[in-house]
């Protein structure tokens, strides 16, 4: 139940917030980047399901990191808009995994969708628009 699927490693970049909401794992990069999370007690709401805020956090980092790593050097992307549709849930011990669909990475904006799955079943579809800050001259 606690095993991390083969090929996943600890997330390559973290923060104090992600350390509190994780631990997150990853494999691949760009559109092939997948973020994973094994559901633990601290991820659950009062109903025993993964909290929607955690799913939004996971969608945001999966979208941002997939877009960032789609270029070399990585793109600095800042969330401008994020929306999600919840089609299912996850429980203690479940493995949640993302798959990305990058629509466009332009000079100032990037657009993408992310899907979160449990056991092959899609539980969240999220779409995001990310601002790409321009370097100051």
Dump pLDDT digits (tens) for 23-81.
999 999 888 999 999 999 999 999 999 999 999 999 999 999 998 888 888 888 889 99
Identify whether 16 is part of a domain.
yes
Domain count, the chain: 1
Look up the domain containing 80 and give its range.
9-131
Is 2 a domain residue? no
Report the CATH number that the domain containing residue 104 is assigned in CATH: 3.10.129.10
- Flag whether 53 is in a domain: yes
Residue for token pair 């799913």: 55
Mean pLDDT in the chain? 91
Asked if residue 27 belongs to a domain, the reply is: yes
Taking the complete model, does pTM exceed 0.85, yes or no?
yes
Could you give the CA distance from residue 100 to residue 115 in angstroms, rounded to a whole number?
6
Centroid of chain to Cα 40: 17
């Amino acid at each position: 139940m606690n095993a991390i699927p083969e090929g996943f490693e600890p997330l390559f970049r973290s923060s104090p917030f992600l350390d509190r909401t994780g631990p997150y794992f990853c494999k691949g990069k760009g559109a092939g980047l997948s973020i994973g999370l094994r559901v633990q007690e601290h991820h659950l709401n009062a109903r025993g399901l993964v909290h929607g805020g955690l799913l939004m956090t996971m969608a945001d980092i999966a979208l941002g990191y997939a877009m960032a790593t789609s270029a070399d050097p990585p793109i600095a992307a800042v969330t401008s808009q994020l929306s999600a549709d919840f089609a299912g849930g996850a429980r203690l011990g479940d493995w949640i995994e993302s798959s990305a669909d990058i629509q466009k990475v332009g000079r100032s904006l990037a657009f993408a969708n992310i899907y979160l799955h449990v056991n092959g079943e899609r539980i969240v579809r999220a779409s995001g628009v990310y601002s790409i800050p321009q370097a100051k001259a």
